[in-house]
């Protein structure tokens, strides 16, 4: 008999929409970390952490026809919390799912966290099923009309998302509520059929480093300590060495179970319990276990950034956001930069960041001219962000990152999710600002303007107001300037003590320019003659401007200037 295919389904939705009850109705086998075992969950009636449960069905015929040898598909249900303050846990859970079930209270409709879960789904998942729960609360004579009306609303909500063609099914996961605990659930068999129709063969790659997202850790007397979680990449087998990077310790795998069944090996996508010895479970509630050295500690990172269109706030350089990556959420500061129009960059998402290119500094995230700039929209240029974390995090070097404003009023009807992006480059050295950032070629375009003061001869002129008298003009010697009258020149050096400079125009000064500044009055002073320029203001002519443009690199410790 062939083994099972494991298919992860994320169950997301607003608080009290019935996600956990729906998972119970679907599941026949429950893992240790399921169904609100947390005492606070029972007391408050909400899910405080990721819960896992499963059920199995025969492999669909269409998958068999594609060469799948597994006799059964095991569906692992990832029950994510819906309470407003727990959005960070949803983000952590949503990264390990193959299909999303968005649970909507048919009486209340789409609520704030329902919309946020939809946003997360768009970022992280390709397929979704909409479950309209609690149809038993609708009077029988109004049930069909209510279901039809809500389906129409949901289709309208989804029409501009990747889930426009998602199936919508109505169920009653717990008919009668607490007053009728033995009532039979409604629509569950039909929901299983829909799930079955949406199932595909997940892309599981057993190669590469083993990374295991741990969501619970507990001891079993006489056996050891069990870490339950989901394999994010690679594979692990009995007797392999695992590292717990947050604690800098290594342990050997003693045994492995998948939903109470012993196995010798687990691969990417599997939900499992891994037993190790001589490890205190209190040291690790949630986090990672991995192949030794597979998960670095990250102090800062470069991401390719995408704004979430539903977020109404601005994304500006030096602004702070809650950064969720892996199992951690910490504060981080953003610095935006991007490619200039016409520059090319590879579309391979697995390629490393290109330090050979030059990037333009941005004061803020730029959106397309249509003002949307969200998922699927074309931005003006390819954009990136350097994110400096207030606390280092342990995560994969290719993790997805989500930025949020979690301190927004939880009662405000607004999307708190602001942006997302893939890690392209990570900085693991605490001294990255001096050791790593100088190789990042992010420049600001600088421009200074002065005025022609006088024309010396057909190839030279004097410029004023371009620099202050205390400026080190020597640093600008040899730099190119452009005149508003069309000439191009080079700064030869300072002229006098007031900040004026001498400019050499190799191709010669235009006759019209020379003529404009040719008028000179002679005025007698005390014992000597002095020449006084007849200025452009005095002749009512527009002054000729001198423009100096250059690049200054943000992360260059010497603050060098460069001209093209």
Return the pLDDT at 351: 54
Return the pLDDT at 430: 96
If you ran DSSP here, which 8-state letter would residue 164 be given? T
Q: What is the pLDDT along the chain (564 residues), one digit of tens a residue?
A: 345 678 888 888 877 777 778 878 887 433 333 333 433 333 333 222 345 577 788 888 888 877 777 788 888 887 665 444 445 555 655 556 789 899 999 988 888 778 888 888 888 888 999 999 998 888 999 999 999 999 999 999 899 889 999 999 998 887 655 444 455 678 888 998 999 999 988 888 888 899 998 878 899 888 899 998 888 889 999 999 999 998 889 999 999 998 778 999 999 888 889 999 999 999 987 788 999 999 999 999 999 999 998 898 999 999 999 998 877 889 999 999 998 776 666 544 445 789 999 999 999 998 764 444 444 444 456 899 999 999 999 888 888 899 999 887 766 778 889 999 999 999 999 999 999 999 999 999 999 999 999 999 999 999 999 999 999 999 999 999 999 999 999 999 999 989 999 999 999 999 999 988 876 444 444 444 444 544 444 454 688 999 999 999 999 998 888 997
**24 & 109 share domain:** yes
- Give the range of the structural domain holding residue 149, as residue numbers without chain letter: 5-198
Return the pLDDT at 364: 95
Cβ(319)–Cβ(334) below 8 Å: yes
Tell me the chain's radius of gyration from C-alpha atoms.
Answer: 32
Task: Show the tokens assigned to 338.
Answer: 């991007």
Q: Is residue 203 part of a domain?
A: no
With 0-12 / 13-18 / 19 or more C-beta atoms within 10 angstroms meaning exposed / middle / buried, residue 407 is exposed
Q: Which residue has the tokens 């729960």?
A: 133
- The DSSP string of 408-463 is S-TTSSS--EEEEEEEEEEE-STTHHHHTGGG--EEEEEEEEEEEEEEEETTEEEE
Expressed in percent and rounded to 5, the helix, strand and coil fractions of the chain are 20, 40, 45
Q: Is residue 272 part of a domain?
A: yes
Q: Is residue 432 part of a domain?
A: yes
Cβ(225)–Cβ(254) below 8 Å: no
Q: Which residue has the tokens 């953003």?
A: 334
**45 & 109 share domain:** yes
How many C-beta atoms lie closer than 10 Å to residue 230's C-beta? Answer: 25
Strand intervals (E) in 211-278:
211-220, 224-233, 235-237, 241-244, 249-258, 261-263, 265-267, 271-276
Among 251, 267, 290, the domain boundary falls at: 290
**127 & 219 share domain:** no
Question: 391-406: b or e for each residue (b if 16 or more CB lie within 10 Å)?
Answer: ebbbbbbebbbbbbbb
CA–CA separation, 393 vs 42, rounded Å?
Answer: 31
**361 & 506 share domain:** no
**181 & 327 share domain:** no
What distances in angstroms separate CA 523 from CA 496, 526, 531, one per listed residue?
A: 21, 10, 7
- The DSSP string of 286-342 is SEEEESTT-S-EEEEEEEEEEE-TT--S--BTT-EEEEEETTEEEEEEEEEEEPPTT
Please, which residues bridge with residue 336 across strands?
A: 362, 385
Task: Show the tokens assigned to 134.
Answer: 């609690």
Q: Is residue 368 part of a domain?
A: yes
The CATH code of the domain that includes 163 is 3.40.50.300
Kind and range of the H or E run holding 39: helix 39-44
Q: Count how many domains the chain has.
A: 4
CA–CA separation, 563 vs 483, rounded Å?
Answer: 16
Among 198, 224, 252, the domain boundary falls at: 198
Return the pLDDT at 187: 85
CA–CA separation, 407 vs 394, rounded Å?
Answer: 23
CA–CA separation, 295 vs 396, rounded Å?
Answer: 5
Return the pLDDT at 183: 58
Task: Show the tokens assigned to 396.
Answer: 């994969």
Return the pLDDT at 268: 87
**482 & 548 share domain:** yes
**431 & 477 share domain:** no
Return the pLDDT at 4: 67
Through-space distance between the first and last CA atoms of the chain, rounded to whole angstroms:
68
CA–CA separation, 53 vs 47, rounded Å?
Answer: 14
Return the pLDDT at 22: 82
**32 & 172 share domain:** yes
If you ran DSSP here, which 8-state letter would residue 45 be given? T
CA–CA separation, 226 vs 274, rounded Å?
Answer: 5
Task: Show the tokens assigned to 536.
Answer: 């452009």
Q: Is residue 34 part of a domain?
A: yes
**285 & 377 share domain:** no
**220 & 234 share domain:** yes
CA–CA separation, 503 vs 457, rounded Å?
Answer: 11
CA–CA separation, 249 vs 251, rounded Å?
Answer: 7
Q: Is residue 412 part of a domain?
A: yes
**26 & 172 share domain:** yes
CA–CA separation, 50 vs 88, rounded Å?
Answer: 11
Cβ(523)–Cβ(405) below 8 Å: no
Q: 331: which residues sit within 8 A by CB, 6+ positions away?
A: 320, 321, 322, 323, 389, 390, 391
SS3 assignment, position 31: coil
Max Cα separation, the chain?
Answer: 116
Kind and range of the H or E run holding 194: helix 188-198
The CATH code of the domain that includes 277 is 2.40.30.10
**226 & 304 share domain:** no
Among 145, 174, 198, the domain boundary falls at: 198
Q: Is residue 449 part of a domain?
A: yes
Provide the pairing of β-strand 500-504 with 460-464: antiparallel
Count of CA atoms in the C-beta half-sphere (13 A) of 180: 11
Q: 374: which residues sit within 8 A by CB, 6+ positions away?
A: 306, 307, 308, 309, 310
Please, which residues bridge with residue 230 across strands?
A: 213, 271
Return the pLDDT at 378: 43
Cβ(169)–Cβ(190) below 8 Å: yes
Q: Is residue 206 part of a domain?
A: no
CA–CA separation, 362 vs 99, rounded Å?
Answer: 36
């Amino acid at each position: 008999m062939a083994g099972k295919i494991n298919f992860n389904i994320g169950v997301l939705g607003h608080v009290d929409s019935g996600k956990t009850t729906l998972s119970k109705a679907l599941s026949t086998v429950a893992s240790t970390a399921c169904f609100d075992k947390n005492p606070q969950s029972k007391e408050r009636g909400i899910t405080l952490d990721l819960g896992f449960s499963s059920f199995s069905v025969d492999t669909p015929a269409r998958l068999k026809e594609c060469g799948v040898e597994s006799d059964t598909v095991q569906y692992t249900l990832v029950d994510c919390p819906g309470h407003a303050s727990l959005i960070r846990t949803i983000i952590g859970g949503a990264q390990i799912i193959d299909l999303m079930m968005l649970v909507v209270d048919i009486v209340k409709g789409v609520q704030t966290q329902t919309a946020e879960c939809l946003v997360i789904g768009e970022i992280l998942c390709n397929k979704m099923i909409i479950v309209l729960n609690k149809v038993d609360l609708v009077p029988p004579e109004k049930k069909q009309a209510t279901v039809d009306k809500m389906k129409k609303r949901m289709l309208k909500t989804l029409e501009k998302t990747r889930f426009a063609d998602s199936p919508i099914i109505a169920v009653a996961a717990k008919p009668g509520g607490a007053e009728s605990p033995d009532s039979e659930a409604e629509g569950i068999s039909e929901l299983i059929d829909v799930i079955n129709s949406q199932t595909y063969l997940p892309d599981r790659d057993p190669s590469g480093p083993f990374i295991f997202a741990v969501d619970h850790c507990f001891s079993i007397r006489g056996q050891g300590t069990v870490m339950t979680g989901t394999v994010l990449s690679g594979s692990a087998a009995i007797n392999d060495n695992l590292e717990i990077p947050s604690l800098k310790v290594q342990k050997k795998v003693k045994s492995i179970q998948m939903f109470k069944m012993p196995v010798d090996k687990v691969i990417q996508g599997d939900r499992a319990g891994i037993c190790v010895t001589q490890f205190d479970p209190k040291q690790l509630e949630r986090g990672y276990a991995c192949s030794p050295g597979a998960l670095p500690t990250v102090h800062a990172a470069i991401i390719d950034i995408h704004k979430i269109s539903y977020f109404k706030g601005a994304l500006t350089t030096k602004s702070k956001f809650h950064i969720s990556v892996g199992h951690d959420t910490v504060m981080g500061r953003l610095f935006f930069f991007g490619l200039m129009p016409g520059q090319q960059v590879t579309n391979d998402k697995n390629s490393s960041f290109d330090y050979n290119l030059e990037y333009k500094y941005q004061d803020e995230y730029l959106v397309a001219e249509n003002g949307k700039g969200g998922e699927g929209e074309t931005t003006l240029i390819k954009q990136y962000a350097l994110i400096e974390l207030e606390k280092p995090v342990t995560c994969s070097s290719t993790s997805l990152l989500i930025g949020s404003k979690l301190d927004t009023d939880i009662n405000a009807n607004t999307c708190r999710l602001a942006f997302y992006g893939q890690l392209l480059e990570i900085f693991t050295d605490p001294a990255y600002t001096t050791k790593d950032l100088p190789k990042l070629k992010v420049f600001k375009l600088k421009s200074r303007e002065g005025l022609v003061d006088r024309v010396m001869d057909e190839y030279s002129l004097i410029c004023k107001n371009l620099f202050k008298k205390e400026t080190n003009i020597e640093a600008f010697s040899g730099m190119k300037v452009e005149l508003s009258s069309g000439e191009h020149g080079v700064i030869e050096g300072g002229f006098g003590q007031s900040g004026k400079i001498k400019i050499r125009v190799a191709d010669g000064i235009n006759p019209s320019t020379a003529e404009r500044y040719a008028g000179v009055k002679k005025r007698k002073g005390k014992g000597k003659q002095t020449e006084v320029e007849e200025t452009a203001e005095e002749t009512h002519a527009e002054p000729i401007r001198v423009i100096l443009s250059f690049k200054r690199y943000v992360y260059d410790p010497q603050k060098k200037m460069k001209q093209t």
